[in-house]
Amino acid sequence: MDRLLLVVSTCCFLLAVVRSALLLRTGNFRPGRSNFFAIVVGFAFQTAFLWVRGQALGRCPLTNLFEVFIFLAWSVALIYIIVGPAYRLSLMGAFTAPLVLVIQGLALLAPIDTPRPPKMEVNAWLEFHASMSIVAYGAFALAGIAGLMYLLQEGQLKRHQLRSVFHHLPPLTDLYAAMTRLLWVGFGLYTAGLVSGFFTGEPLPKVKMACAIAVWIFYGAILQGRHLFRLAPRHVAVLCVIAFSAAVSVLWGITFVSERVPG
Amino acid sequence: MNLFCVGISHHTANVETRERYGCGMDAVCALRRSTDCAEALLFSTCNRVEVYGVSDRILETAEIARCLTAGCSEEAAAFYRYEERDCVQHLFRVACGLDSMVVGETEVLGQAKQAYAAARASGGAGPVLHRLFQRAFRVAKQVRTHTDITRGAVSVGSVAVDLAGKIFGELGERKVLLVGAGEMGERTARALLSRGVRDLRVASRSGDRAGDLASVAGGRAIAFAEWEEQCREVDILISATSAREPLLTQEKLRPLLRERWDRPLFIIDIAVPRDVAPNVNELEGVFLYDMDALQSIAEQSMALRREQVAAAEQIIAAHVADFSRRLVRDRAADSAGAIARDTAISEAPLRAAQP
Q: What is the pLDDT of residues B83-142, one digit of tens each?
A: 999 999 999 999 999 998 888 888 899 999 999 999 998 888 889 999 999 999 999 999
Torsion angles phi and psi, residue B4, rounded to 5: -145, 165
Angle at A203 between CA A184 and CA A212, to 5 degrees: 25
Does B169 sit within 8 Å of A164, measured CB to CB?
Answer: no
B67 counts as catalytic: no
Integer CA distances (angstroms), B329 to A38, A247, B333, B334, in order: 40, 66, 6, 8
ipTM of the complex: 0.83
Peptide bond into B273 cis (omega under 30): yes
One-letter amino acid identity for B279?
A: N
One-letter amino acid identity for B173?
A: E
User: Tens digit of pLDDT for each residue in A14-34?
Assistant: 998 888 888 777 666 666 677
Region B335-350 average pLDDT: 52
The helix/strand/coil state of B236 is: strand
* B172 vs A: CB within 8 A: no
Does A174 sit within 8 Å of B285, measured CB to CB?
Answer: no
Chain A hits for B153, CB-CB cut-off 8 Å, are none
Q: Which of B305, B293, B302 shows the shortest CA–CA distance to B160?
A: B293
- The residue annotated as part of the active site, out of B5, B29, B37, B46, is B46
Residue B353's pLDDT is: 41
| A262 band by pLDDT with thresholds 50, 70 and 90 | low
DSSP-H helix ranges across B106-242: 107-122, 127-146, 156-168, 183-194, 207-217, 227-230
| A141 band by pLDDT with thresholds 50, 70 and 90 | very high
Q: Which of residues 275-314 of B touch A (CB under 8 A)?
A: 281, 284-285, 287, 289, 293, 296-297, 300-301, 304, 307-308, 311
Strand bridging mode B80-83 / B220-222: unpaired
Contact B266, B167 (CB under 8 A): yes
Residue B97 falls in which region: left (phi positive, over 0), alpha (psi -120 to 50) or beta: left
Neighbour tally for A218: CB within 10 Å: 16
Interface test with B, best of A22, A25, A28 (most B CBs within 10 A): A28
Least CB–CB distance from B148: residue in A161, A164, A170: A164
Does A233 sit within 8 Å of B285, measured CB to CB?
Answer: yes
Strand bridging mode B2-9 / B48-55: antiparallel
Handedness of CA B64, B66, B68, B70 (dihedral sign): negative
Q: Which of B43, B41, B136 shows the shortest CA–CA distance to B89?
A: B136
User: Tens digit of pLDDT for each residue in A76-111?
Assistant: 999 988 887 766 556 677 788 899 999 999 999 888
Residue B355's pLDDT is: 39
